[in-house]
């Protein structure tokens, strides 16, 4: 029927920046070897690929770890005075690259640049015996970058220049993490709409949800957020900015400690959050806790769910419902010394939203941690 197919066809025609999914997330860290070990031991990632002195690199070392569709690169410099070293000195450990899997990295780059993006890396062909990959890159908020990865002509382990990293004596069990659900950016005061416009104009994303400081505030602190999504919905980037409250917003605390804008959290999906969180906790991953009273009203708020409340309460897993279903979620404490980047574990059961009903309980939990750090004033 023409009338029903037309809007969809128009929508597809408007997606001038087709993206297949998240390709990898690269973190610049002080000690890539130990960070890789942490993500294996604590988060259940597997050894995947390596680049460094043994592959001909002179200035850096990278370990790639993998769990289902999630690939993390942990990169450290091998000498002083490098861009990577300066990044770590300024920001601490954090996300440098959010890489996006595309069919044509040259087209993606040229389109983004024509629409006003700032260049990070011109299209570059990298080849080895397993084929070729084209990568290009643009800046987003702060010093964070998007790299477009075109890998349709490549059959190797990860990327040209990397060798397979095998650790037959040590590969902890995965914990059931499947794919990157969304990644959140913290941007400066009054900068949210600037970056919303960037994702709309440069990347063709749409603003699918908005939260103002009335939605996201406690007695003390506040923030605002808009969620940007690409055409097929596989990439979702909520953008947060601080809002005025009686005390310091958690976004402002992040901006102070990261010394700029950057990735606040990486949300990773699981099909069984109770099992996943139980394993993560037993391996030493630390989570934010909400008060036990959160669970007194949870059934009234979200209605009937498949899970028993007891294990959710025991593990501190949060529940929220929207028009399409419900979701279960939990947040780790920051995974580096500075109170900056953390992970969210999320299980969606129909809901496509982000847990608005949990914001208040969650932010009160964050405020208790800010209080301990002496940054809530
Ligand atoms: Fe999130």
Domain ranges of the chain: 12-164, 177-373
Centre of ligand 1 from the C-alpha of residue 345, in Å: 8
Alpha carbon distance 300, 69 (integer Å): 35
> 183 alpha carbon to ligand 1 midpoint, in Å?
7
Q: 230 C-alpha vs ligand 1 centroid, how far in Å?
A: 16
Q: How far apart are CA 156 and CA 241, in angstroms?
A: 40
pLDDT score for 13: 57
Residues 6 or more apart whose CB falls under 8 angstroms from that of 16 comprise 111, 204
Task: Write down the H helix ranges in the chain.
Answer: 2-14, 32-41, 83-91, 105-114, 192-201, 250-258, 273-282, 298-302, 309-315, 359-373
Q: How far apart are CA 125 and CA 101, in angstroms?
A: 15
* Domain 12-164 and domain 177-373 have a common topology: yes
Q: How far is the CA of 238 from the centre of ligand 1 (A)?
A: 8
CA angle 99, 121, 13 (to 5 degrees): 60
Distance between terminal CA atoms of the chain? 60
User: Which residues of the chain have a pLDDT value below 50?
Assistant: 1-11
How much is the pTM?
Answer: 0.94
Kind and range of the H or E run holding 28: strand 21-28
**How big is the chain by its Cα radius of gyration, in Å?**
21
How far apart are the CA of 160 and the centre of ligand 1, in A?
Answer: 32
Question: What is the whole-number distance in angstroms between the Cα of residue 280 and the centre of ligand 1?
Answer: 18
In what order do the strands lie in the sheet containing 94-101? 119-128, 131-139, 145-150, 94-101, 21-28, 70-77, 60-67, 46-51, 163-164
**Dihedral sign from CA coordinates of 24, 324, 360, 245:** positive
CA distance 179 to 302: 25
Does the domain at 177-373 match CATH 3.30.1490.440? Answer given as no
The span from the CA of 189 to the CA of 358, in Å, is: 24
Ligand 1 mean position to 365 CA, how many Å? 15
Query: 20 CA to middle of ligand 1, Å?
Result: 20
> What is the whole-number distance in angstroms between the Cα of residue 222 and the centre of ligand 1?
16
Q: Give the distance (Å) from ligand 1 centre to CA of residue 182.
A: 7
Distance of CA 265 from the midpoint of ligand 1 (Å) = 7
Strands 145-150 and 94-101: what pairing?
parallel
Distance 249 CA to ligand 1 centre (A): 17
333 C-alpha vs ligand 1 centroid, how far in Å? 13
Cβ neighbours, 10 Å, residue 267? 21
The CATH number of 12-164, from 3.40.50.300, 3.40.50.2300, 3.40.50.10890, 3.10.180.10, is 3.10.180.10
Ligand 1 centroid, distance to 63 Cα (angstroms): 26
With a CB cutoff of 8 Å and minimum separation 6, the contacts of 37 are none
């Amino acid at each position: 029927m023409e009338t029903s197919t037309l809007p969809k066809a128009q929508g597809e025609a408007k997606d001038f920046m087709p993206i297949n999914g998240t390709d990898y997330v690269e973190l610049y860290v002080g000690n890539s070897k130990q960070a890789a070990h942490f993500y294996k031991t604590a988060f259940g990632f597997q050894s995947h690929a390596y680049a460094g002195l043994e592959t001909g690199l002179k200035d850096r070392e990278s370990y790639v770890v993998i769990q289902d569709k999630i690939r993390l690169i942990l990169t450290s410099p091998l000498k002083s005075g490098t861009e990577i070293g300066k990044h770590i000195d300024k920001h601490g450990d954090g996300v440098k690259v959010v890489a996006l899997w595309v069919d044509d990295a040259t087209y993606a780059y040229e389109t983004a640049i024509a629409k006003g993006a700032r260049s990070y890396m011109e299209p570059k062909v990298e080849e080895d015996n397993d084929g070729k990959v084209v990568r290009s890159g643009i800046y987003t908020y702060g010093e964070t970058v998007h790299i477009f990865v075109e890998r349709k002509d490549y059959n190797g382990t990860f990327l040209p220049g990397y060798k397979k990293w095998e650790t037959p004596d040590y590969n902890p069990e995965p914990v059931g993490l499947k794919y990157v659900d969304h990644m959140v950016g913290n941007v400066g005061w009054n900068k949210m709409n600037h970056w919303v416009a960037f994702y709309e104009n440069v990347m063709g994303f749409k603003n699918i949800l908005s939260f103002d400081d009335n939605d996201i505030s406690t007695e003390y602190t506040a923030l605002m957020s808009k969620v940007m999504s690409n055409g097929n919905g596989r990439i979702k980037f909520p953008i947060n900015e601080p809002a005025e409250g009686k005390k310091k917003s958690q976004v402002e605390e992040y901006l102070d400690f990261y010394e700029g804008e950057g990735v606040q959290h990486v949300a990773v999906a699981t099909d069984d959050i109770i099992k996943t969180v139980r394993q993560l906790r037993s391996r030493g991953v630390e989570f934010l806790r909400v008060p036990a009273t959160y669970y007194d009203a949870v059934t009234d708020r979200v209605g009937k769910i498949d899970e028993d409340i007891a294990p959710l309460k025991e593990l501190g897993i949060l529940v929220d419902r929207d028009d399409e279903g419900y979701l279960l979620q939990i947040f780790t404490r920051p995974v580096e010394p500075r109170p900056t980047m953390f992970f969210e574990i999320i299980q969606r059961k129909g809901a496509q939203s982000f847990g608005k009903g949990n914001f208040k309980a969650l932010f009160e939990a964050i405020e208790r941690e800010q209080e301990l750090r002496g940054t809530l004033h």
